[in-house]
Each structure stands twice: as C-alpha cells, then as structure tokens.
Chain A
Amino acid sequence: MDKTFSIQRMPGFATIALFCFALLYLPIATLVVFAFNDGSSIVMWEGLSLRWFRQAWNNSQVIDASIRSLQIASVAAVLATIAATMAAIATTRTRSYRGLTFKYAFINQPLMVPEIVTAVALLVLFSRIKVMTGYSGLGYLILAHTAFCIPFAYLPIRARLESMDLSLERAAADLYATPWKTFRRITLPLLWPGILAGFMLAFVISLDDVVITEFVKSAGQDTLPTYMLGQLRRVVTPEMNAISTVFLLISVAIVTLFFLISRRKV
C-alpha cells in the first residue's frame, strides 16, 4: 500500500474542493443558463430561447459600446506592449545598477496604487486638459488604459527575457551581427511568445476595466463594462446575461490562447 502523504486522502478534502468549485463556477453557470431563458426574468426559468442574444445583437448601444471597448483595448494593448517591451529590455539587458529595484516599482506602479485613486487623479487631470484644449475624444481613455496595462504586458515579457540564454546574443555578436541585427534576428524572434502573451494580457485587462473608465469617459463614451453597469441600475433582463456570456467567451478564448502561447517552448 502506498503510505506516502497525499492531501487527497485528508478528511473533508472532497467537500472543500466541491465547495470551492461551486463558489467559482455556480454564479457563472447560472448567468450562462439564464442567458437562454425565454422569459424576461433572470431567476425564473421559462423555457429555452435565443431571443436575448438577438435583442442584444440588435441593440445599437450594446454594439457601439462593444466596438468602443475593442478599439480602446486594441490601441491601448499595442501601445502598452511596445512600452513594456522596451522597459523589459532596458531592465534585463543592462548591468545591474543602483536604482534598478526602484525602476521595477516605478513600472509596476499601477499594481500598487489603488485603482480608485488613479481614477480620481486621472479625472482631475483630464478635466483640466479638456477645459484647456477642448479635446474630448477617446484619447483620454486610450492613454489611461495604456498606462495601467503596461505592468501586465511587462511581466511576461521580462520573464521571457530573463529565461533567455544570454550566450545566444553573444554568439550573434560573435558572428558579425550588429546590436540592432542581433535584436532583430535573435532577441525579437525568441521574445515573440512573451510579447504576444503580454499583449493578450493587456488586451483582456483593458477590455475588463470599469473603475478608471467610468471616471475618465466623456458623455457617450460607454465601453461594454460601463454600459452594463449603467443598465444594472435599471430593470435587469436576461439581455445582460446574454451580453455577459459572449463577453465571457471572448475573455476565456483570449486567456486560453495566452496560456498556450506562453507555454510554448522555443
């Protein structure tokens, strides 16, 4: 008999595990199930139907907010990934120096400062700029999203750079590659999975944001999450469930892709 210790044989293991699973997935399961409800209640089941998906699809506000969300997330994720890549190279491909730890903290600031504080700060700053310049386009949201996405893009890129064998870059230099050619031909191709992973993480984080967006957005600039938040203050129909279900699918798809890419070995 196998006498080694196994946590799976501890009393109550199955119960606790089931409870945790239920806590994690029961709400989501309920949400998804009622997205297919034929009635207009989100608690009373009245039969199977796709009417709420159709209604959401025909709701121009939902479509507008979704497109805005995707626009902001794409631009912000691209900008954040570029900045994060440069930051990651600057913090891993230089000799360690005094102040490097401070620089890590500086880059990861959005992870440490409470989001609501950043949101209020941005609101104050951007309203001033709005008054001064008269510009009230999507630029503010894109800038704000870029800023808080940088640490999420930075972490996987830096991890990849740190695990990369430095002698590869040395070998390229030894074989007559200039620093720029070494970066283009060796570092960048090997870093690519990290960059993609960083991009997708930033994309999902931007897509998901409520607090900062709610504070920074001008009138008529609802993203999907802030639109949904606004709707919840009124009558709640399974249309919300339908939108959430689609949103959930997109997020899960992107995060799964992220794991597949970051797991890939060169």
Chain B
Amino acid sequence: MPEKPDRSAIEIRNVSKIFGSGDDQVKALDNVSVDIRENEFFTLLGPSGCGKTTLLRLIAGFDFPTEGEIRLHGEDIAPLPPFKRPVNTVFQNYALFPHMTVAQNIAFGLEMLGRPKQEIEARVAAMLKLVKMEQLRNRKTSQISGGQQQRVALARALAPQPKVLLLDEPLSALDYKLRKEMQIELKRLQGETGITFIFVTHDQEEALTMSDRIAVMSAGRILQVGSPWEIYDHPAERFVADFIGETNFLTGTVKEAGNGRARLLLGSGAEIAASAASDFKPNAEATLMVRPEHAKLVKGKGDLGGTVQNIVYFGTDTHIHVRLDGGEMFIVRQQNARSAGCGFEEGEKVGVSIGDDAAQVLRD
C-alpha cells in the first residue's frame, strides 16, 4: 500500500468537555485540537486527570463533547453512538465477556456487523494466529493468564478491522517483563494491520519507545504534539520537559534573544547561550533546561562550577549530583565504562560543561 502520510484519520476540532454543572463544573477538556494521521501510532501522554482518557472516550463514543467536532476521515462522528463508529477499543481491564470463549469473544464484533459465517470463521482464525492464541481458542476467558487476556482483547478489537484502534492504558496491569514484550507486540501489530492506533498512557518511557507521535496533555489541554525525539529534545514548555525524562532546570534572566537563541544570566552569575523554544524579550524570566546526559562533568572550570555531593550507580550509567555554586542541584548522567569508576569523588570541586546544543531556554 502506498503511504499517504498527510491524510488525517481523526481530526479533533476545538473540543471541550465539561462535567457537572454550576459550581461543581469540571472542565476535563479545554478547547483541544489535534490531527491524528492515518496509519500512525499516536500516543496521548499525561498525568492522571489530564483529560487523556476523556478524549479517548469521546472518540469511542462513550461520552459526547460539550463543544467541538470529532472527524473521522472527514465525517463528524461526535454525535454518533459507539455502535455506529468504525472505531474499536482495548479496555484497561480488557472487559472480555466472561460467559464466552476466546473465539466467541473475537467473533462478537463481526457477528454484530452481520458478516457471513464463513467470513467470521476465517477472520477469527486469522486473528487468533495474529496474536498467537490458536491453542486456546475454546478456553473461557477466566481460564487464561493476564497477558493472554490482553492478546484476546487486542484480537477482539482488531477483528472488525476498525479505522482506528483505541488503547486505554492496556499494559498497566501487566508486570514489567510482560509489558516490555507487549510493547514490541503492539508495535508489530500496528505495522502488520496498518490501522491507526491511539494509545493512552501516563508512562513516558512507554510513550517514547512505541509512538510515531506523542501529544503531551495537562489539565485538559494539549501542550505539545511531536515525535518522541522532538518532545524529548525540544520540549515546548517546562511541564513537558519535566514530565518526560529527567531534567535539570536553572532559572535566570534573558540578556539577549533572537533568531531562535537566547543568552541567559543565571543566579550564580554564569552566562549560558542556548536555543530558545519561543521568543523572549530582554530581562524576561526564563528557565534553562539541560538533560542530565547532555551535560559533562570536568575537572577544573566548566560553564558552571560546583561540588560533587552524591554519586549514584545504576549499572549502565552513573548519576552524579552536583551542588552548584549558586546553590541549585544539578544532575549529570555519565555512561559507565567497564571496570572503571566514574572518575569523581564526593566533595570534589568540579565544573559542569554544557555543550552548545545541550541546553534550551523555556518559558516558565
């Protein structure tokens, strides 16, 4: 199939959702707009209560927006009930029908669509093969493990060949190893079926490893949409940088700005130039962010001076906590080499060197 990367599968247009009324009113979604492309693994990422699940429920049809449009391939589906939308969901608790076998669960959607018996049988067989569950087709869903239930839930949602598959934190109930396996499995299924996946999670690592694009949400709004790389390396706001990965934040005043760059005067008197996520005026307050792995610790003078306070060994890398001369804490992550220490000692006077591309100036 030729790729058409610019066609939208789902367009969310100025969608708001308000629960309750009067003083108890809660704005779960606040004028949200986003385009989700065809054949994309799209993740809604944010802390609990940020509105990501509400948005998913609006797309599924379990709830209706207070305002705005939800378009599926150009058609507004916001007023349609869930059973009229070519969208299927993998539920957080799987919601498998306990009185049916694995195969009956997978066949349910196709039966409701009134597909011919032969087609249903063929499709169920294909789905069982896709999720590697052929052996267990006649088991009751209570007789299989959590990971297997997860696969059945996926097969059941994929069987009617929906235009879009919604996944509501489907991996949160699995243990660490199984979760890692299912992450790869989900990625494979998305590739093989070519269906648009919309994945909801609060786990930033999960979002980074699986997604084509991520929308970071907070308090009912989408703060940034971008590839995992863009979100991680070029966060638009402090919240995004803080939520995804570990980050050092240093506050300061803008000395000069322009052409996507800014020079910042930090509290300790040091000056650092970095790329800027938005336009700044001189003398404005701003935040400098530096990922721990993008900074380097040096003997002698660096861009910032400080004292090693703590060394934490993590196996693959070491985190060195430095108390800067200005009083802030700064973490540097250093890849470990075989049979060598990190090269620094607690209490040692050190410099922190920040490369030209390593830092970024953010709005507060």
Contact = CB atoms under 8 A, between A and B. Distances in A.
Interface stretch (B44-52, B85-93, B217-225, B263-271): B85-93
A96 to B, nearest CB: 13
A176 B95 contact: no
A177 interface: yes
Given A167-B91, A181-B112, A173 B97 contact: no
A172 interface: yes
Interface residues of B, number: 24
B72 to A, nearest CB: 14
Contacts of A177: 83, 108, 112
B97 A186 contact: yes
B156 A168 contact: no
Given A175-B156, A176-B112, A190 B99 contact: yes
A165 interface: yes
A176 B113 contact: yes
A2 interface: no
A190 B157 CA distance: 21
Interface in A144-190: 165, 167-168, 170-178, 181, 185-186, 189-190
A171 B81 contact: no
Nearest to B113: A176
A104 to B, nearest CB: 24
B309 to A, nearest CB: 48
Contact of A174 (B82, B96, B98, B113): B82
Contact of B60 (A165, A174, A178): A174
A174 B95 CA distance: 11
A167 B83 contact: no
Given A171-B89, A171-B91, A171-B97, A176 B81 contact: no
Contacts, number: 62
A10 interface: no
Contacts of A185: 108
Contact of B95 (A168, A178, A266): A168
Contacts of B109: 175-176
B82 A173 contact: yes
B99 A266 contact: yes
B95 A170 contact: yes
B168 to A, nearest CB: 10
A168 B112 contact: no
Contacts of A165: 93, 95
B62 interface: yes
Interface of A: 165, 167-168, 170-178, 181, 185-186, 189-190, 266
User: Which 4 residue pairs are nearest across A and B when measured between Cβ atoms?
Assistant: A175-B109, A176-B112, A167-B95, A171-B95
17 contacts: A167-B95, A170-B82, A171-B91, A171-B95, A172-B97, A173-B81, A173-B82, A174-B82, A174-B157, A175-B108, A175-B112, A175-B156, A176-B109, A176-B113, A178-B112, A189-B99, A190-B98
